[in-house]
Structure 1
Amino acid sequence: MTKAWTKREGLIALHQVQGVGWHTIDQLFHGGWDPSLSMKESREVFNKISWRQKKLPEILAKKWTSSFVQRVQEELSHRKIQALTIWDRDYPELLRKLPQPPWILYLKGNRSLLNGRCLAVVGTRKPTHYGKNITKSLMTEVVAQGWTVVSGMAAGIDGDAHRSVLNTGGKTIAVLGSGVDVVYPKHHQSLYERLVQEGLVLSEMAPGTKPHPGLFPQRNRIISGLSHGVLVVEAAERSGSLITADCSLEQGRDVFAIPGPITSEKSLGTNRLIQQGAKCVLSGSDIVEEFPHFSHDDEQGTSEHAVSPLEGLSNEEKVLFQLFADDPLPLEALQWHSNISLGLLHQLLLTLQVKGKIKQLPGGRYIKQ
């Protein structure tokens, strides 16, 4: 007998049924069910399953028709949403190895980015000027090395990371905690449109799903699961970004963190990560050197053009950096010559260290690298 739909089409349609989540599909598969079966053929399998949701068989009985499966396919096509199932050949291998890999990913944009060399970048929704500058600088370095940046399109560091990558012509993926067609936060509408056109937006949630706090931890496991490592730029002590870092550790990924002033609430989480063993990142090379099997291909490309030592620096950073010669300078001399307030001076010095421009010597002295 010819099937009314394929196994793949059946899984995609099943995922659109309200109340069906990861565990329900897992329960069905363990019960011996095949998504290509008609409802009549499925009933025998359903009768053997101890359902978590008692009303689900009744819901499926009403939904599970050839017209429903076809309608789901047509609706996705109409919305220009691609569906990538765990059975597809280009499903990301790193995700496939997770304890609970997504059965389906909904995509808008360039799906080939999924199998690139990915680095997750996350951070606070309310970054400081320091955090914004560091994000922009590091994304330039990471993109130059051929990495694809994965983040969550959230306000703050996530959005800054995506924009910085797009502005340098790099590759970036946004993983949403809502349906792939639902823009959240709303003020990221223009960023979302750029990501669809120039990068990739994806979600595990069925299209139309509204954002909900319970969905973001699921989203975070995909951000880290797609990536070889996660970089946390700024995070408070109880930041949601630390959940992504925890996911990375559980998945056996590398965790990187940007140090910050111990007086800054936005750096309490990252400084704590470093205390707990995350690698302290002062420049993009600190990340790249952890993956020597990746960096070789980019050595020729990165040496083809000389880079100005002032590239990637803000105006204030340029003024301070140009004071450095070959000899180390004490803090007092830097403050005297730059006429910069002590608080801002400390921040700029730390930023220049993170960007790999200077280093601190014993006795409160600084020298150009």
Structure 2
Amino acid sequence: MTTADLPTGEAAPTLDADELRAWLRLAHAKGLRPLALRTLLGAFGGPLEVLSESFASLAEIADARAAEAVLAPPEEIEGVPFDDYIEAAFAWASEPGNHILTLADATYPQALLTMPDPPPLLYAKGRLELLQARAVAIVGSRHASPQGLEDARRFARVLSDAGLAVVSGLALGIDASAHRGALEGATGTVSVIGTGADLVYPAAHHTLAHEIAREGAMLSEWPLGTPARSANFPQRNRLIAGMSGGVLIVEAAMRSGSLITARLANEMGRDVFAIPGSIHAPLSQGCHRLLKQGAKLVETPEDVLEEFGFSPATARAASTAARRARPRPVSASWASARADEADSAIDGDAGRVLDALGHAPATLDILSMRTDLDGAALQGALLQLELSGRVAALAGGRYTAVERS
């Protein structure tokens, strides 16, 4: 699935062909680390100047390996001959809303410059101003629970309304819910992807990627045409952490990639937040581990806003100002959720079952014991609750209550 047909915003700026060619050559030179390239740029001024230096000069500033990488003939990029790739990159960047950003550009995300090894070059789609906004990352499990998905959407919407851009990775589960919630808010979202900016992964998020390209921003450090590779996603997580002032983990198993993002954020001096859950839930174990290691426990979006310096009054003022500056249509999914909340209160057997569920998943046997309902009555109550969106069925014959904001 490609992003060639994604709707985009403003026109790309005019590019200097020789300068961009030099940036592309150095950014994608095999064996040249971003930190070494940044050191060389600082010493010599720009990519054309770096390429004109001798091996000895380059090795003196960086090392022999970096010098060899700079002076080596350009190789294929993702199987495409270098000259052909340059033409394709220029063609991609000439499309409205597509941008190739370098370390020398004022539009390069300033937050990434606080990293020791920011990518020398980024491919971006959409609203470049979002790349400079104060931001919070929301990440979590790809196999999230219904409650986790709802929490991610709700937190993202409130934080976006308060004026924070929400950064995530376009993955299934928590990432997607965070993007959708932020798009429902006033500020928007930034998707940092682990493929080329001309691809959409997973393909199921083609529609979501359209919306982000139109209303938010998409960002990649990988060459155009780069497919999804497992090795790329930890590096993608590094950019998610770098773009953000803090990272919120909604749900995560003990071996979740979200814990990598949290560790990287902590190493960069960013705040790490985690939502606690049931001690019996595998997707709470990663969050509880982070909390033991010093992450900040949050129960409401306001807890995150307080750490960002927002008082309740300033959060409301920021939300109002953001919505006035950029009014947003109400999506069908959001209108549906609001309509669900307007339903009459659940009572009778369904109310007893909802009370019995509490805040942790439960099996039919546990619910029967807690409510004294027989099988038929219990199944009927659960069906009513599922249809009203108050309860969701989980794997293993368990049920969980879905809290609505």
Alignment-mate amino acid for residue 257 of structure 1: A
Give the Cα–Cα distance (whole angstroms) in 1 for the partners of residues 175 and 162 of structure 2. 20
1:98 alignment counterpart: 115
Is 1:257–1:281's contact at 8 Å kept on the other side of the alignment? Answer: yes
Q: Secondary structure at the match of 1:340?
A: helix
2:390 alignment counterpart: none
Give the Cα–Cα distance (whole angstroms) in 2 for the partners of residues 195 and 37 of structure 1. 37
Is 2:112–2:118's contact at 8 Å kept on the other side of the alignment? Answer: yes
2:290 to 273, 294, 299: 273
1:1-369 equivalent positions in 2, closer than 5 A: 7=19, 9-16=21-28, 22=34, 25-26=37-38, 29=41, 34-37=46-49, 41-42=52-53, 50-51=64-65, 57-60=71-74, 71=87, 74-80=90-96, 81-292=98-309, 297-300=314-317, 319=345, 338-340=351-353, 344-347=357-360
Q: 1:42 to 1:145 in 2, by over 3 A?
A: same
Alignment-mate amino acid for residue 64 of structure 2: S
For these two proteins, the number of residue pairs brought into alignment is 324
Q: Secondary structure at the match of 1:184?
A: coil
TM-score using structure 2 length: 0.69
Specify every segment of 5 or more residues in structure 1 that has no aligned partner in the other structure, as ranges. 306-310, 324-334, 349-369
1:292-324 residue CA offsets vs partner (Å, 9 max, x unmatched): 26876544355899xxxxx9796599847xx9x
Is 1:177–1:216's contact at 8 Å kept on the other side of the alignment? Answer: yes
Is 1:130–1:347's contact at 8 Å kept on the other side of the alignment? Answer: no
Alignment-mate amino acid for residue 181 of structure 2: S
Give the Cα–Cα distance (whole angstroms) in 2 for the partners of residues 38 and 338 of structure 1. 70
Specify every segment of 5 or more residues in structure 2 that has no aligned partner in the other structure, as ranges. 1-15, 324-336, 362-405
Give the Cα–Cα distance (whole angstroms) in 2 for the partners of residues 62 and 290 of structure 1. 46
Give the Cα–Cα distance (whole angstroms) in 1 for the partners of residues 343 and 249 of structure 2. 22
Alignment-mate amino acid for residue 183 of structure 2: L
Give the Cα–Cα distance (whole angstroms) in 2 for the partners of residues 27 and 292 of structure 1. 35
> How much does 1:88 deviate?
1.4
Is 2:162–2:319's contact at 8 Å kept on the other side of the alignment? Answer: yes
Q: 1:317 to 1:45 in 2, by over 3 A?
A: farther
Q: 1:270 to 1:55 in 2, by over 3 A?
A: closer
Q: 1:45 to 1:313 in 2, by over 3 A?
A: farther
Q: Secondary structure at the match of 2:130?
A: helix
Q: Secondary structure at the match of 1:36?
A: helix
Give the Cα–Cα distance (whole angstroms) in 1 for the partners of residues 94 and 17 of structure 2. 19
Is 1:106–1:203's contact at 8 Å kept on the other side of the alignment? Answer: yes
Alignment-mate amino acid for residue 37 of structure 2: I
> How much does 1:77 deviate?
2.6
1:327 alignment counterpart: none
Give the Cα–Cα distance (whole angstroms) in 1 for the partners of residues 94 and 175 of structure 2. 29
> How much does 1:237 deviate?
0.9
1:183-207 residue CA offsets vs partner (Å, 9 max, x unmatched): 1111111111111111000011121
Give the Cα–Cα distance (whole angstroms) in 2 for the partners of residues 256 and 269 of structure 1. 12
Is 1:5–1:69's contact at 8 Å kept on the other side of the alignment? Answer: no
Give the Cα–Cα distance (whole angstroms) in 1 for the partners of residues 48 and 290 of structure 2. 47
- Identical amino acids, percent of aligned pairs: 32
> How much does 1:178 deviate?
1.2
Aligned-pair RMSD on alpha carbons?
A: 3.7
Give the Cα–Cα distance (whole angstroms) in 1 for the partners of residues 43 and 88 of structure 2. 24
Alignment-mate amino acid for residue 51 of structure 1: R
Give the Cα–Cα distance (whole angstroms) in 2 for the partners of residues 95 and 101 of structure 1. 6
Is 1:145–1:295's contact at 8 Å kept on the other side of the alignment? Answer: no
Alignment-mate amino acid for residue 241 of structure 1: S
> How much does 1:92 deviate?
2.4
> How much does 1:72 deviate?
6.0
Give the Cα–Cα distance (whole angstroms) in 1 for the partners of residues 118 and 338 of structure 2. 38
1:31-77 residue CA offsets vs partner (Å, 9 max, x unmatched): 859521597x45556885623696874433999xx977973662333
Is 1:15–1:206's contact at 8 Å kept on the other side of the alignment? Answer: no
Alignment-mate amino acid for residue 82 of structure 1: H
Is 2:136–2:166's contact at 8 Å kept on the other side of the alignment? Answer: yes
Give the Cα–Cα distance (whole angstroms) in 2 for the partners of residues 237 and 61 of structure 1. 40
Q: 1:313 to 1:214 in 2, by over 3 A?
A: farther
Is 2:58–2:67's contact at 8 Å kept on the other side of the alignment? Answer: no
> How much does 1:274 deviate?
1.4
Q: Secondary structure at the match of 1:82?
A: strand
Alignment-mate amino acid for residue 165 of structure 2: T
Is 2:112–2:239's contact at 8 Å kept on the other side of the alignment? Answer: yes
